[in-house]
Every structure is written in C-alpha cells, then in structure tokens.
Structure 1
Amino acid sequence: MGLKFSYTLLAPIYDSIVSSATQSMRMDSLQRLNNTEPQQVLINGIGTGLDLPFLPTHHKYTATDLTPAMLERCRARINQHSLDIELHTADVMHLPFEDQQFDIVLMNLILAVVPDPLKALQETSRVLKPGGKIYIMDKFIKPGQLALSRRLLNIFIRHIATRTDVVFEKLLEQCPQLTLLNDQPTLLSGWFRLIDLQKKTV
C-alpha cells in the first residue's frame, strides 16, 4: 500500500487520531520559530494543518504534502489564521524547489513516515540556505537500541502509515553538511525527539 493512498484513506480521521496526542509537542516544536526575524520557511508534510494555530505570523511559509486530500483539509483551515502561506502537492524526497531557497525547514512527523528518510533529509538540506536550520519533531530509536517491540510493530505498520525503526544518527552521519545543534527528548520517554540542525556555510 503506497503512502499517498494510505494517507488519502486516513485524511478524514487523521485529526481525531493525532491532534490531541501531539498538540503539546507541536507547540514546543514550533516555538523555535518565535525568536527569529521574518524568514522563508518551508514546512515539509503540512498534512491537515495541525501546525497552523501555532505558527508565528511574521514568516513567509511554503508548505507541502504528498496527499491532495490532506491539503484540502489544510486549505480549509488557513482562513482561520493570518498567515502568508502557499500550499504545494509535493514529495519530500523530490522537492520542486531551487537549491538554497529557504532559511528554515520544518519536518514534523515526516522522517519516520517516508519510505526513504535519508533522501528526504538530503532533499531538505538541498533547498536550505547555508547557515539555515532544520527543525525536526519525530520518533526515533537510538543507535544500538534493541527496541524489539518497536521493530516488530514496524513490520506491520510501515506500509500503512509510519515507521518505528528509524535511527536518526544513521541519517545524520550520511549528511556531513548538517550540524547537530540540539537533541531534546519529548513525548513517550524520549521516543519522540525535538532535533535542531544547521547547514554548514562552507
């Protein structure tokens, strides 16, 4: 089952499943945008727009999602918020943007969803300006962590909605152009993490 098809089916019930469980984590994640001057911000995987209420209004936003059904629900929410935002149907592993176009990229619950998280991170880095930042909120396991239950769960759900076996450190070591600034545990005893990266200037 493809990711696009899965999330087309999930779109009508996505908010009821995800919204309350992730709200506080989203607020914490998006507060990282508050103390910056106006920037060009890319949101990879905007989904139904659950991030919208927590986005500061002084930035220029470009938001993508693979699934038109999710973007339709996001579009219906936009009028409730005073945001400068454009929506695009796009695959995070093949972004339709120029190199070094954005100052900040948000990746909330994306890397542990896509089939190729390394490609998604590399594409995100490509469209990020030197010195720009990537803000990640997602679930990862640590290097060497057995996490047997998560790995078994992944066998059943990876083709439907998400993955539970992604090791972030393995992704980062293959992206030498990115520097880790912060790695903060959050939901479920640190299974979910808030991670800040910066693209090197040279």
Structure 2
Amino acid sequence: MAKINHSIEHQQKVYQKWAPIYDRVYRGFLGDAHRTVAKLAADAGDDILEVGVGTGLILPHYPARCRVTGVDLSEHMISKAREKVERQGLDHVKALHVMNAHHLDFADRSFTAVCLPFVITLIPDPERALDECARVLKPGGEIIIASKLGHGRGLQGAIEEVVAPLAHRVGWSSAFRISRIADWAARRGDFEVAEIRPVFPNGFFKVMRLKHRLSA
C-alpha cells in the first residue's frame, strides 16, 4: 500500500480546498456525532476546548452556559467558524485561534473537557497531541474523541486498510485503531477509557471518552 502523507502541509491544503463546501457536505452526515460530542463535553464541565474546530459545525450544539474555545490548523476553516459565530450570535464561543495541536498555547489545567472531532487520525503525532490535551485539562476532566476509529480485526479491519487511501483524499484515515488511543491512556496511567459510543451511520463513526483519574 502506498504511504499516506499525514504532514501538516498536506492537511492545510486539504482543508483549504474543503473549507468553502465543508458544511454542505458534512452537516447532516456528521450531525449525530457532533451533537454527541457537544453533550458529553458539556456534561464534563463548562470550560471546553475544541481541537480541530474546522468551520464550527459543532459550536451551535454546546449549551449557552459553556465557555468554548476552538483551535484549528487551517486559517480558512477558522475564518468560516468566525463567520458562523458572528452570524448565529454564538456568545458561548469565547475565542477561535489558528493553532497546532502539537503545541497548544494555553496554561496547564485550563479546560474541563477537550474535544477532538474528526481530527485525531489526521494529526502527524497523535500521542503528542493527546499529551498536550492532557496538559491543558483540569483534574478529573475528559478528552472526547470523535472519528472513524477502526478495530483492525477480521474482515472489517481488512476493509479499513483497503479504503484508507480513499478516505485520506477527503482528510480522513480509515486505518486508525481504537487500540492506539487506549494504549496511550494505559501508558500514561492517569487516563481510562470511560466509553466508546457508536454513532450514525450505524456505528461507522465512534465517540470515545477518556477520563482523567484524580488518584493517578
């Protein structure tokens, strides 16, 4: 199989192309996952960081009581998100920044929840990004990940590997394993996998909750 390019430059080019039409393509298809992410994040607390905020499709789903900060690698996506916040009067969105997930420019223990919606499979070094998410997370908080997360077993795993290059053309990976995230949590020792929730369509996407252990 040809090597897949996960470079930052590649992702910037992908999302520059998709930014103008992203909402039309994905609003309905990802709606269940977006609502689930927003609810789980709000259940964890009011101070929320969304890494990979994109055009801001999830932003309207957060409760008004929340204080939401969004970051994205793409200036084009952030521009669309800012337009959405202004147009829809989303006062709970406090800030939107162009930022690399490998280097989050926030103080330690700033947020009660950190969300990564449909971005973890695209980050060149996911473990490094998760470490950054853990750093800015308040004690007892949650990291919430939504993605096409594969199991890598049997026929489903084989199919995921075959379609990986095709999915990558629209900025996704089908070969990323749930076990990779679980292994990261196990190595750290201060996080546990609290839930893996299948969402529309028919469990093709998953929402994964990683809970910080206060006693770790």
Distance 1:148 1:35, change over 3 A: closer
Partner of 1:193: 206
Contact 1:44 1:64 (8 Å CA) reproduced: yes
Distance 1:94 1:122 in 2: 10
Cα distance in 1 for partners of 2:77, 2:134 equals 24
- One-letter amino acid of the counterpart of residue 21, structure 2: I
Decide whether the 8 Å contact of 1:3 with 1:160 is kept in 2.
no
**Whole-angstrom CA distance in 1 between matches of 2:83 and 2:99:** 18
- Name the structure 2 match of 1:19: 27
Q: In the alignment, which residue of structure 2 is the partner of 1:158? A: 168
Runs of 4 or more above 6 Å deviation? none
Partner in structure 2 of residue 126 of structure 1: 135
- Say if 1:68 and 1:89, in contact at 8 Å, map to a contact too: yes
Distance apart, 1:145 and its partner CA: 4.3
1:113 to 2:122 alignment: yes
Q: Does residue 28 in structure 1 map to residue 41 in structure 2? A: no
| Alignment partner, residue 169 of structure 1 | 179
Gaps of 5+ in 2: 1-8
User: Does 1:88 find its partner at 2:97?
Assistant: yes
| Separation in 2, partners of 1:117, 1:160 | 19
1:36-75 matched pairs, under 5 angstroms: 39-75=46-82
In structure 2, the residue matched to 1:182 is 195
TM-score (norm 2): 0.84
Q: 1:34 and 1:2, CA in 2 relative to 1: closer, same or farther beyond 3 A?
A: closer
- Counterpart of 1:133, as a letter, is E
Identical amino acids, percent of aligned pairs:
25
CA distance in 1, matches of 2:201, 2:170: 22
Deviations 1:126-185 (A, max 9, x none): 211221111222111115345222212213443651111111222221233211111111
One-letter amino acid of the structure 2 residue matched with residue 198 of structure 1: K
Q: 1:102/1:46 Cα in 2 relative to 1: closer, same or farther (>3 Å)?
A: same
1:127–1:190 CA distance, 2 compared to 1 (3 A): same
Structure 1 gaps of 5+ residues are none
TM-score normalised by length of structure 1: 0.90
Aligned Cα root-mean-square deviation (Å) = 2.0
Structure 1 counterpart of 2:67, which letter? K
Deviation at 1:53, TM superposition (A): 1.6
Q: Is the 8 A contact 1:172 1:178 kept in 2?
A: no
1:64-111 deviations in Å (ceiling 9; x for gaps): 000000011100011212324201101112212222221111111111
Whole-Å separation in 1 of the counterparts to 2:154 and 2:145: 20
